Amino acid sequence: MFEKDPSFPFHRFLDEAGDTTVYGKGKKDVVGCEGVSHCFIIGMVKFREPLEPLRRKIIDLQNSIARDPYFNVASIQKKVSGAGYYLHATDDLPEVRKIFFDFIKQIDCSFEAVVATKSMVKFETKYHLKEEYLYADILSHLLKNKLMLKEERLVLNISARGKSTKNHNLELALAKAKQRFESTHDGVSMKTRIVFNITYPTIEPLLNVADYFCWAIQRVFERGETRFYDFLKEKISLVIDLHDKEKYNKFKNYYGPKNPLTAANKKSPPMH
């Protein structure tokens, strides 16, 4: 039975794709090298249906995959024998991805993300060699337009990520978001109270949906591969390519249903 006062309007679920690594051994720029992404992405899902029945459906789906003899492979059984099987796009078999993408297609939800192009210059000058500062800055851009919602509070269920999701760093992100909000809303007071809830995909199955959306966006920017993005495109309301200097001042770095991402959004390998 659905809850009388559903909580889904004021919950969001956040995950990331890519990594925050910029320096390798000897402070060498390793962006774009094998195992290191060109971009770092933080994405947020909003569900428009009761959360608890949706959690149950995802758990049931995960259990059915874990029990299916067809999926009796090492990568799945390792998770089963550890913290328990959960869906994670990077690790999942193509057949599993298809199952969960079809599942997401049926959910009433929307997704938005901010994409940061990593560079050594920004890492040194703007983020002071701190990977968590990069995370805080990207998160602030995702939050800045969420500070005047009709909801009195907004609970951000965030996938844990080391120092980046420690309370002081999340508060830094919120402070940056407030600054950006105030700079574009002169005299308007912030209405929404932000609450952070740090959790894990093994505990909160709804994070798996955010993970899959982020992975679909990552495939566009890292590989120029659009088929996963195209499959979920109608649910992706906004993608901001934060460091696209050529399009930044024209707001053409804001992508949505009317201005979709294409293979041209792939980031070219940096010159080393």
Distance of CA 120 to the CA centre of its chain: 22
pLDDT of residue 272: 41
Who contacts 78 (Cβ-Cβ below 8 Å, separation ≥6)? none
State percent of the chain over pLDDT 90. Answer: 66
Who contacts 85 (Cβ-Cβ below 8 Å, separation ≥6)? 62, 63, 65, 66, 76, 79
- Closest CA relative to residue 139, chosen from 111, 98, 177: 177
Tens of pLDDT, residues 3-52: 444 667 789 999 999 988 888 877 788 888 888 899 999 999 999 999 99
8-state DSSP, 251: T
Ranges assigned E (strand) in 85-129: 109-117
User: Mean per-residue pLDDT for 179-195?
Assistant: 84
**Residue given tokens 């869906």 in the structure block:** 87
**Residue given tokens 């060699």 in the structure block:** 129
Read off the pLDDT band of 182 (50, 70, 90): confident
| Beta bridge mates, 193 | 153
CATH for the stretch 8-265: 3.30.420
pLDDT of residue 220: 97
Tokens representing residue 29 in the block: 């720029």
